[in-house]
Structure 1
C-alpha cells in the first residue's frame, strides 16, 4: 500500500472547514448560540481570550460655544476614515515624543477643522479605553477616557 503525501488531505480539510464555517454562521445568525467550529471567528487568532484585553481608540471631540463636547465621528465625512485614524495616531505620537505645544496644537486643530468644517472651535484629543470589548452592547459602552491634548482657538 502506497503512503499518500500529507498535503493530499488538504483539500478535504479545506472542504470540512468551509462546511463547518457555514454551519457556525447559520447557527449564530438563526439561533444566536455559540459556534461549533472554533476557527470560525477571527478573534481566535487576534484575541484568543475573546475580548478580555482592553481596547484603545483615539477620538477627537469638538468643544462648542456652550462648552459642550461633540465627538467627531470616524465616518468618512471630511477626511477618509483610514486617513483620519492615521492622523489621530500621528498626533498621539507627537504628544508622546514631547513635540512643542504649538506644533501639536496646529496639527490637531488642522485635523479638527478639516473634519468639522469649523475654524473657531477648540478640540480635545481623547484616548478611550474599552475595558472588555466583548461586552460592548448597543445600550452601554464601559470605557475610561484619558484626555491627551486640548487645543486653543488660535
Structure 2
C-alpha cells in the first residue's frame, strides 16, 4: 500500500480541485473527501451526537426544517449557525440576544416560516440504519 500512497495523494488532490470547480459552478460536491466535515467531525467517531434543529409548527404538526442551500449559505453553514445559537440559548448565554439573532437569521433564510421551535436532538450514530435507532428530542425554546 505504501508504494501507492504517492499516486493516491495526487488522485485525491485532483479530485478535490475538480470538486471545488464543480461547486463554484453551482453543482454538487462529487468527491466526498473534499468536505472538511469528513475530517473534523465524522459521524460515528463518538457514541453520542447532539444537534440543534429547527421545526415549524403547521396546525397540530411539527415539521423539521431541512437545510436547503441558498446563494449565501450552504447546508454546513446553516447547521453551524443553528448549532451555535442553539447552544448559546440552551446554556443561557445572552439568551434573549441569541433568540433575537436566531429570529433575524431565520427571517433572512426562510422568511415564510413562523412559529418555530428549537430542539436539541441526541442520538447514537452507531445505531443509524438499525431498528433500535432513536432520536431523543428536547425542546429548547419557541422562536
Range into which the TM-score falls when normalised by the shorter chain: 0.5 to 0.7
Q: Which residue of 2 aligns with 1:135?
A: 127
Superposed CA deviations along residues 76-110 of structure 1, whole A, max 9, x for unmatched, are 14742122122112212432243142x23322222
Q: Which residue of 2 aligns with 1:150?
A: 142
Q: Which residue of 1 aligns with 2:86?
A: 92
Alignment of 1:15-34 (within 5 A): 15=4
Cα contact 2:51–2:83 (8 A) shared by 1: no
Q: Which residue of 2 aligns with 1:72?
A: 65
Cα contact 2:47–2:126 (8 A) shared by 1: no
Within the candidate set 112, 118, 121, 2:106 is matched to 112
1:127 aligned counterpart, secondary structure: strand
Q: Which residue of 1 aligns with 2:75?
A: 81
What's the offset of the Cα at 1:61?
A: 1.0
- Change over 3 Å in CA distance of 1:140–1:73 after alignment to 2: farther
CA distance in 2 between counterparts of 1:138 and 1:112 reads 33
Superposed CA deviations along residues 62-81 of structure 1, whole A, max 9, x for unmatched, are 122x1421211123147421
CA distance in 2 between counterparts of 1:135 and 1:114 reads 35
Q: What is the RMSD of the two structures over their aligned residues, measured on CA atoms? A: 3.3
State how many pairs are aligned: 109
Q: TM-score, normalised by structure 1?
A: 0.54
